[in-house]
Structure 1
Amino acid sequence: MMLPNQMPRLEYGRVVLRAFESRDATLVQSVADDALIPSITTVPSSGTHEDALAFIARQHHRLAAGTGYSFAVTDSVSDVAVGQIGLWLRDIDQGRVTTGYWVAPAHRRRGYVTAALHALATWALELEEVERLQLYVEPWNRGSWQAAERCGFQREGLLRSWQAVGEARRDMFVYSKINESRFSQGPGPAPTPGR
């Protein structure tokens, strides 16, 4: 399956991943004063309806610009948006993509992150261009990295001072999941003898 040029709709368990809609502005506004989300994402900290709609418009532009797929994470029964998950394509030419996600505080600890990450990872690793899916998470964020591990991601190490979060640089665990059917750890080609 090739990279689609339209936003897919992905379903798994209690979640549906879909394109953001204007009615999701309420969700965006609800996390404007969260201690972490606006500092590590493009969610506006203003809390205004206009800025929330501008955020949604930027999410739609990501696909058109070729930078990625930004999904609203919604409850599969109510279709109410509870968070965001993305597939970011900066390194797609190397077969690598990155994911990141957040869920509003009112909806945490209900399995939304695990279900959303499972849906996204399953879809992403079926794409012909994707060999490796990676994510970064701060060591203190146990809920986030445990969700990654439940979805089959493997921790590869600690990246020291990896990312600016707010005004400070933070360490990050790096996790990955690969397309096992296309991965080989066998020896590479034999070196060419020198003269």
Structure 2
Amino acid sequence: MTDGLVIPELDAGPFLLRPFRPGDLPLIEEAAADPYIPVISSVPVPYTEAAGLAFVQRQHDRARECVGYSLAIADRDGDRAVGQIGLWVTELAEGRAATGYWIAPSARGRGAAGHALAAVARWALTDLAIPRVHLHVEPWNTASIRTAERAGFQREGLLRSWMELGGVRRDMLLYARVAADGQAAPTD
């Protein structure tokens, strides 16, 4: 019997990756108002305090159920949550894990996603000894493409009509880092 995964705190330069808390409700409320974040995540729409608290609980449940680690990306100064990053470990038997992230509109352009992605990849590849970490990015999302590449992820190809998001089949670019790639740090 296992008690699940333990959500860590990870150093991400000017950011800290940590478990979600009820105090992160302002982030969830802002994310719920974004036109894209709720499409790619479980951020609740419409937002209510109860729905926000249920979101926080779901993030902890993912670890308890051994699905993965959902981490709040928080400013190191002031501990204000600005986004989310996950490491999903349901494919560990095949030697791989998936990652994904989002940043609230008010916090974009500060390198939060890049610092978080580099920190999660480093932790997964080194400390957890997962051989491969991959992520999917829509081809139009140039900011996320830059983030992935700056964090050392390499583009592997285009997956046509890969997944349904918001009721629409979407193409996805596949990016990955493998343990043999070495370490990369984001550039701002």
Find the aligned partners of 2:35 and 2:64 in 1 and give their Cα distance: 30
* CA deviation after TM superposition for structure 1 residue 104, in Å: 0.4
Would you say 1:87 and 2:87 are equivalent positions? yes
Q: Which residue of 2 aligns with 1:48?
A: 48
Q: Which residue of 1 aligns with 2:7?
A: 7
Q: Which residue of 2 aligns with 1:36?
A: 36
Taking structure 1 as the reference length, what is the TM-score of the superposition?
0.88
In terms of mean alpha carbon deviation, does 125-134 or 53-62 score higher? Answer: 125-134
Q: Which residue of 2 aligns with 1:185?
A: none
Find the aligned partners of 1:80 and 1:128 in 2 and give their Cα distance: 27
Matched to 1:163, the amino acid is M
User: Percent identity over the alignment?
Assistant: 46
Question: Residues 158-177 of structure 1 correspond to what in structure 2 (within 5 A)?
Answer: 158-177=158-177
Task: Say which SS state the counterpart of residue 32 (structure 1) adopts.
Answer: helix
* CA deviation after TM superposition for structure 1 residue 5, in Å: 3.2
Question: Residues 1-195 of structure 1 correspond to what in structure 2 (within 5 A)?
Answer: 5-180=5-180
Task: Say which SS state the counterpart of residue 90 (structure 1) adopts.
Answer: coil
Matched to 2:20, the amino acid is F
Matched to 2:113, the amino acid is V
* CA deviation after TM superposition for structure 1 residue 181, in Å: 7.8
Contact 1:7/1:19, CA 8 A, preserved across alignment: yes
Find the aligned partners of 2:129 and 2:96 in 1 and give their Cα distance: 8
Find the aligned partners of 2:32 and 2:181 in 1 and give their Cα distance: 41
Find the aligned partners of 1:36 and 1:155 in 2 and give their Cα distance: 23
Taking structure 2 as the reference length, what is the TM-score of the superposition?
0.92
Matched to 1:54, the amino acid is A
Find the aligned partners of 1:22 and 1:89 in 2 and give their Cα distance: 25
Task: Say which SS state the counterpart of residue 170 (structure 1) adopts.
Answer: strand
Contact 2:85/2:99, CA 8 A, preserved across alignment: yes
Paired residues, number? 179
- Inter-CA distance 179–39: structure 2 relative to 1 (3 Å threshold): same
Contact 1:131/1:178, CA 8 A, preserved across alignment: yes
